[in-house]
């Protein structure tokens, strides 16, 4: 009897995708992955990873390290009681920098080579199987192999299939929804929208059907006028959200202008002059130190004045701060 399987893409489907993973420590399971795999295996499915790994051809990761990465993935799943039945990957790419892997390959998605090889190795009935991934290549490979397909729109990013590409059979936002789709398909039905209950109108009494009696001398306003009066009254009672936002924005602009063009403090001006004297004293100390006479006393005096002026400048800066 042939087996049925779920073919998963790896990155951003089962584990986080920081780019090209080239270290086992980078492997992090996405939320809910172990629980979903356990449930799918209990439904009788083989679980297979089919992943393009052009990083090998690009020289970013070796096949040995890739094996360590997949071993780490299986270890993390095993800690949660989950497991994978097979991992298939394609290391080839026509633009690779490693000559051994620089070529086209039927194993590389959107070609169905990996799925066909797994089906042969594990006696899988592809017509009873599913392909799940977050990219158009995953969907096309699954469809060409004869599987039903689910496009995983993970992390709130809607995946748009380009014109001319194969359209997925279903779309899901996470693996929990993937499981629900597979279960409903197995039951031979699609999700239905429950109709809203019909509420019978309550019969009105004769008193309720009578028009309201207005005080004498006040004519009944027409419906349009009444609606306008109600809207005007509402506008008078509370400002609109747009008006409130406009007022807040005006206040922020005013505060910004005030901070930009505030009072010019005299202390700041004096502090700037004193700071200039500091640099002058430092220059003189260097001049006396490097001079032919080597006037040590003059150097010490210049440094003393530099320290004094620096303290004065700091004092003036502190004094000119906001009151």
Q: Of all residues in the chain, what percent are helix, strand and coil, respectively (each to 5)? A: 50, 10, 40
Could you tell me where the beta strands, DSSP code E, fall in the chain? 4-8, 45-52, 86-90, 130-133, 148-152, 170-172
Residue 142 three-state SS: helix
- Give the residue from 14, 134, 133, 6 showing the smallest Cα distance to 70: 14
Judged on CB neighbours under 10 Å (0-12, 13-18, 19+), 245 is: exposed
Which conformational region is residue 7 in: left (phi greater than 0), alpha (psi within -120 to 50 degrees), or beta?
A: beta
> What residues act catalytically?
9, 11
Torsional sign, CA 93, 98, 101, 104 = positive
């Amino acid at each position: 009897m042939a087996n049925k399987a779920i073919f998963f893409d790896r990155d951003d489907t089962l584990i986080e995708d920081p780019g090209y993973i080239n270290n086992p420590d980078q492997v992090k399971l996405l939320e809910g992955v172990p629980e979903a795999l356990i449930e799918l295996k209990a439904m009788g499915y083989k679980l297979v990873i089919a992943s393009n790994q052009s990083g090998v051809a690009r020289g970013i990761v070796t096949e040995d390290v890739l094996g360590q990465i997949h071993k780490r993935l299986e270890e993390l799943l095993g800690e949660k009681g989950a497991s994978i039945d097979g991992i298939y990957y394609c290391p080839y790419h026509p633009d690779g920098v490693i000559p051994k892997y620089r070529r086209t390959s039927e194993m590389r998605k959107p070609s169905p080579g990996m799925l066909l090889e797994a089906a042969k190795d594990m006696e899988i009935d592809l017509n009873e199987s599913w392909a799940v991934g977050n990219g158009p290549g995953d969907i096309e490979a699954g469809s060409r192999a004869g599987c039903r397909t689910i496009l995983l729109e993970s992390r709130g990013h809607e995946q748009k299939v380009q014109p001319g590409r194969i359209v997925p059979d279903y779309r899901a936002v996470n693996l929990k929804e993937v499981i629900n789709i597979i279960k409903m398909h197995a039951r031979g039905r699609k999700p239905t929208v429950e109709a809203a209950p019909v509420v019978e109108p309550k019969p009105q009494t004769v008193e309720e059907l009578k028009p309201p009696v207005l005080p004498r001398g006040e004519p009944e306003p027409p419906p349009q006028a009444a609606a306008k009066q109600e809207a005007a009254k509402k506008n008078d009672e509370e400002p609109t959200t747009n008006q409130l936002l406009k007022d807040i924005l005006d206040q922020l602009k005013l505060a910004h202008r005030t901070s930009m063009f505030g009072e010019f403090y005299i202390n700041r001006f004096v502090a700037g002059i004193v700071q200039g004297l500091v640099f002058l004293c430092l220059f003189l100390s260097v001049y006396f130190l490097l001079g032919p006479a080597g006037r040590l006393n003059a150097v010490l005096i210049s440094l003393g004045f530099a320290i004094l002026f620096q303290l004065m400048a700091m004092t003036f800066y502190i004094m000119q701060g906001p009151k």
